Amino acid sequence: MTGAITRGHRHIPWLRELPAHWEVVSSKQLFSPRRELAREHDQQLAATQAYGVINQKEFERRVGRKVVQITQNLEKRRHVEKDDFVISMRSFQGGLERAWETGCIRSSYVVLKPRDRVDIGFFQYVFKSRGYIQALQATSNFIRDGQDLSISNFSLVDLPLPPKNEQHLLARYLDWHGAQTAKLIRAKKRIIALINEEKQAIIHRAVMRGLDPNVKLKPSGIPWLGDVPEGWEVKRLKWATRLQRGYDLPADKRIAGPYPVVSSGGVIDRHIEYRARAPGVVMGRYGSTEAVFYIEEDFWPHNTSLFVTDFQGNLALWCYYLLRTISKADHSGKSAVPGVDRKDLFDIFVAVPPYDEQIEVVRGIEDRSQYLNRAISGVANEIDLVWEFRTRLISDVVTGRLDVRAAALTLPETTSIEAVHEVPDNEDLDESVDLPENEEVAA
């Protein structure tokens, strides 16, 4: 973009060069706090980094499970209009969230009402740009990102302001590019899913029958288990490996340290303390057979997971692969917050090989999975590169370093949540939803 100028800005110097015809405006001139309390028929909204601010029922549909409903302090909740922005408890980490629906949200969040000079689409990208997020982080003296962000922090960061028609063109281009990026990412994730299916077949065959295709079999006496190799012992899972639910550790209670915090989705943080010794096996209470994790260092098992407390004399890695053969969907509870109940798992019958053969099974699985792991890693790296390009593109467009106006004129309108956000396969309830006032989610 021609005519760039260098400027110094109040408090936060994230806008060093802008096109000459752009303005730099105090955020208070473009957004004001919405102080209206929830209306009688407002639907409950969930503030998430993955989807923005959406209806909680829609959020539950997307992640495939229910969230604890808010029952306290409903009279204090704030009204949100569609196309408002919400300062969430994790805005330091991911920018502000756009409201895609009208409803209400917890009172501890700040709701921002845009003024007439604002094109919503443009500013949803400004607030998600790397430079803006770093500027927000620079307003805080907190040790950890993700703690309470106030309107005073938001007010310290000046904003770029192109003419409104130009804002719309830039947003149109980024929407279109986001939709194309989402298609590419979905295609690559499908490739990973197919590779994982092949890998899972290798694991299932080795754990259920061993490595020798000509091994002699005997009836297990369990209809769904079928025949098992001679010399293997059929027993309930609780006599092969013992599971326990993890321990609560909210994000605001964690202190940076050497020990991984492992939730139903894997490692989500690190903490100064541990509650379980290595080696460890952690099983997500939700999701597919992939939601099992082998941990090679002392760790904190989160309360959204189950972890092995006793391998019952079996090889830890064999127990890891054993748990990966169990479909959690077949053993989910029926409570308001569904998940796997360890008591249900304990009664599953499994075939347990002798310890020496467990070692052989693990080696066989890992040898046969090597090329698949390399393929998965390669595709995952491609996905990372695509998102890195997307992140850089957003930053360049919203600060005027890249002029895409001519290209945008030829493009259709494609605004969608998927175009704006990277949508993961699953979300951790502990991290990103609108939680009850003064309550923790007992996931």
Please check whether residue 360 lies inside any domain of the structure: no
Q: Does residue 228 share a domain with residue 137? A: no
Are 119 and 174 in a shared domain?
Answer: yes
Q: Which of 303, 308, 309 is nearest to 430 (CA)?
A: 303
Q: Within this chain, do residues 347 and 389 fall inside the same structural domain, yes or no?
A: no
Same domain, yes or no, for 148 and 252? no
C-beta separation of 15 from 134 below 8 A: no
Residue 224 CB neighbour total at 10 angstroms: 8
44 & 172 share domain:
yes
Pair 84, 34: CB distance under 8 Å: yes
Take residue 433 and report the two structure tokens written for it: 């939803």
C-alpha gyration radius of the chain: 25
Same domain, 399 and 346: no
The answer as to whether 366 is a domain residue is no
Residue 298, both tokens: 């002392």
Report DSSP state, residue 277: P
Residue 261 lies in domain: 211-352
374 in any annotated domain: no
Residue 102 in domain: yes
Same domain? 167 vs 218 = no
β-bridge partners, 260: 270
CA distance to 62, 84, 154, 184, 436, per residue, from 76 (Å): 27, 18, 22, 43, 12
380: left (phi over 0), alpha (psi -120 to 50) or beta: alpha
CATH number, domain containing residue 264? 3.90.220.20
Q: What CATH number has the domain bearing residue 80? A: 3.90.220
Tokens 């300062």, residue?
87
Q: How many CB atoms lie within 10 A of CB 319?
A: 26
Task: Provide the domain count of the chain.
Answer: 2
- Token pair 């769904």: residue: 224
Any domain includes 8? no
Query: Do residues 109 and 173 share a domain?
Result: yes
Sorted by sequence, the CB contacts under 8 Å of residue 302 that are 6+ apart come out as 246, 247, 248, 249, 261, 262, 263, 264, 268, 430
On whether the CB atoms of residues 108 and 437 are closer than 8 A, the answer is yes
Domain-embedded: residue 195: no
Q: What is the pLDDT of residue 6?
A: 45
pLDDT tens for the chain, residues 1 to 443: 545 554 444 555 688 889 999 999 999 999 999 999 999 889 999 888 888 999 988 888 887 766 655 555 566 899 999 999 999 767 777 779 999 999 999 888 899 999 999 999 999 999 999 999 988 888 876 545 445 678 888 998 999 999 999 999 999 999 999 999 999 999 999 999 999 999 999 999 999 999 999 999 999 998 888 899 999 999 999 999 999 999 999 888 999 999 999 998 899 999 999 999 999 999 987 654 468 999 999 999 999 899 999 999 999 999 999 999 887 655 555 444 445 667 778 888 999 999 999 999 999 999 999 999 999 999 999 999 999 999 999 999 999 999 999 999 999 877 656 555 554 443 443 333 444 333 333 22
Whether the Cβ atoms of residue 416 and residue 176 lie closer than 8 Å to each other: no
> 304 forms bridges with which residues in the sheet?
none
- Residue pair 99/45 in contact (Cβ under 8 Å)? The answer is yes
Tell me, what's the pLDDT at 412?
Answer: 85
Q: Are strands 280-284 and 305-310 parallel, antiparallel or unpaired?
A: antiparallel
